[in-house]
Structure 1
Amino acid sequence: MGVIATIKDIARLTGVSVATVSNVLNGKAGAASPAKAQEIFEAAHRLRYQPNALAKNLKLRRSHTIGIITEDLTVFNTPEIVDGIESYCEEQGYEIVLANMRLFKRYNNNLTDTPEHAVLFDKTLRNLLAKQVEGFVYIGYHHRAVSYEPPRDDIPFVYAYCTPSSHRYTSVIFDDEGAGFAVGNTLLEYGHRKIGVICGPLTSLNAQARLRGYQRALYEAGILYNAGWTTFGDWGRESGYTCARQLLEQGVTAIFAFNDMMASGVYSYCIEHNLAVGRDVSLFGYDNISVAEAFSPPISSVESPLSEMGRRSAAMVLEQIRAAQRPEPQQVVLPCKLHLRPSVARIAPSRSSLGC
């Protein structure tokens, strides 16, 4: 690789000052005569001069870089959101700098905003600001309200898969309640009335919203909600297995598990007890991870718009960066997509019940 040419080299070759060369190359009118300007451009081309974009951006206080703060990069939803942010930034000529707080690895599944969380957030934010990033997307590993926020209102900042407690900043989430409503309607349309639910932990906002949506579907159909057919798991496969036993012993004809891992536990229970999913019992999961299609028949599931969440978050950060004044904060709620597969079957009228 040859020596990189500089503005000084062009100035020396053309016999003008460095300032004149800089003004000409940056398109400043009247910086030199037309003939001299042409000579400068030809010299730059001959020397294969490339402007130092980093130095120029730092001088203009523009880095064309977005900082991404993830609560934990290993949690399944996070990589797809990051990919959405990066793809949008790439289209807009921006780069990303990624910082991983590793909250799940550090503190297990403790979603409480502890003082340790806040200290780690402040340290991560300061480190990225030192790298001259222009704005931030903060990605939660579970939807919840988080209490820590940027120290200044003028920092472009968007929360993804979580919301700020004060609602002073924009957030992008997806419509869990709408998805729960859609799944409930689908099972009702297929003739099911004795529907079991495997909810997530009561503290989970995702689980609460999915349950509200399901209950609304029953209410709008004029069907009573039976609390005895709702169980609570911990998102893990074993809890799905345990809850399946409780529900199937009560004679439910369909189960709505609030994630695919718990749905896989239901599937395992059915296999061990000679029950055919899609015939003896219908099954709907959530998240549409690869395990949903690994079974035969595959599990019906809900796909969250993770990539689109990343893209929208990036777009809103860039909007804040480019705006003359800070836009009003808002909460963007994206729709989910249902994947109806053979794990859900229509039920014979004789097996349906009028109550629920």
Structure 2
Amino acid sequence: MATIKDVAKLAGVAISTASYALSGDRRVTAKTKEKVLEAAKQLNYRKNGFAMDLKRSRTNTIALILTDLSGPYYSELIRSVQDVALSNGYDLVACSSMGGKESTAVKFLREKRVDGAIVLAHNITDEVLLQTASSNFPIVAMDRVTTGEGLISIVVDGELGGYKATRHLIDHGHQSIAFVSGPANSYDNMLRYQGYLRAMHEAGLEEKAKWRLSGNFVRDGGYKVTKMMMMQGELPSAIFYGNDEMAIGGIKAIEEESYSVPDDISVIGFDDIQLAEYINPPLTTIRQPMHESGSLAGHLLFQMLNDQEVNDSYKLKVELVERKSVKSVEEVSKSLI
């Protein structure tokens, strides 16, 4: 019986290349794939040996790969995906993508140690996802637009969310509005910033470079850049934080400088994490469907594992949640009289 070594020798390629070609891996060119398939046909090679059976056997485990495992947003996502996995009789492995291409998460994908994966990690490139996803190894990519064989994407309408947040501040009379962003390479961050710019330009307002700072989507980042902003002297009347974690850190920094939210500075966030309604003042924010997006990702992954048809991409809606951290400029002026 012919082996993959025989196929590789006849095709004039490395054994690993022959293996990639026979499994439909995108790293192999069409010309090389054709040579390997022709060699396999001549040798009557069949991919049904013991090793292939082991490789293709189900592990009954899926992976959830995140940039960071800490924080309320990620914990909510993990819980929603875990619920779907358990209901399908599967285990869930959650791992961090820290380290990028050299991370354990990428090795997990390349070596296909699980049956499929959900990826929410901006430091894992589209190239890696396109190379590893296949009909036999489905991947659901969250918060990015990229599709291919075995690969679908789920995005939240962050641009509309950024627009709604900024428009809400403008409708309350604010014209000097700062934007505290997440990581520069985050697709989420880019969309929210685009929405902010659209609302500002629509109202004939210009952003000030000194009021655009990056808090890296973490509470301490929001705290530190707000402190920095306040050291500059001239303050905005409102701040749009790219997520609630940064907004909570920002509110602490504002109050430590003896200013009040919203009497001196209005604040709006993004996400609507559970803590948002319990801080003082309760945070006005843009709610994105965290639990629903995790559940959808899980259900779509299992549909692909069961060879069911799914769409290439999905876009989820956002909504404004009004609480107590935004005050109109007119109300502030009256309180000073």
TM-score for both structures, normalised by structure 1: 0.66
What's the offset of the Cα at 1:195? 0.6
Q: Deviations over 1:72-95 (max 9, x none)?
A: 6723333433433344466xx622
Q: Give structure 1 stretches of 5+ with no counterpart.
A: 1-60, 352-356
CA distance in 1 between counterparts of 2:57 and 2:102 reads 34
User: Which of 139, 158, 169 is the matching residue for 2:119?
Assistant: 139
1:119 equivalenced with 2:107 (yes/no): yes
User: Which of 190, 195, 198 is the matching residue for 1:213?
Assistant: 195
CA distance in 2 between counterparts of 1:198 and 1:74 reads 22
What's the offset of the Cα at 1:274? 1.9
CA distance in 2 between counterparts of 1:158 and 1:167 reads 10
Matches within 5 A, 1:250-261: 250-261=234-245
What's the offset of the Cα at 1:281? 0.8
Q: Deviations over 1:217-268 (max 9, x none)?
A: 1122233333332122233334323332444422310011112232223212
**Contact 1:70–1:78 at 8 Å: present in 2 too?**
no
**Contact 2:219–2:247 at 8 Å: present in 1 too?**
yes
TM-score for both structures, normalised by structure 2: 0.69
What's the offset of the Cα at 1:204? 2.1
**Contact 2:143–2:156 at 8 Å: present in 1 too?**
no
Letter in 2 for 1:210: R
What's the % identity of the aligned pairs?
A: 21
Alpha carbons of structure 1 residues 255 and 73: separation in structure 2 relative to 1, 3 Å: closer
What's the offset of the Cα at 1:98? 1.2
1:159 equivalenced with 2:140 (yes/no): yes
Matches within 5 A, 1:48-197: 65=60, 67-71=62-66, 74-76=69-71, 77-88=73-84, 94-104=88-98, 107=99, 112-114=100-102, 117-123=105-111, 125-126=112-113, 128=114, 133=115, 136-142=116-122, 145-149=125-129, 151=132, 153-155=134-136, 157-163=138-144, 167-168=148-149, 169-197=151-179
1:333 equivalenced with 2:329 (yes/no): no
**Contact 2:80–2:291 at 8 Å: present in 1 too?**
yes
CA distance in 2 between counterparts of 1:291 and 1:222 reads 34
**Contact 2:217–2:246 at 8 Å: present in 1 too?**
yes
Q: CA RMSD in A?
A: 3.3
What's the offset of the Cα at 1:102? 3.4
Letter in 1 for 2:88: Y
What's the offset of the Cα at 1:340? 1.6
What's the offset of the Cα at 1:279? 1.0
Which residue does the alignment assign to 1:308? 292
Which residue does the alignment assign to 1:295? 279
Q: How many residues align?
A: 274
What's the offset of the Cα at 1:141? 4.0
Which residue does the alignment assign to 2:3? none
**Contact 1:144–1:163 at 8 Å: present in 2 too?**
no
Letter in 2 for 1:102: S
Which residue does the alignment assign to 1:32? none
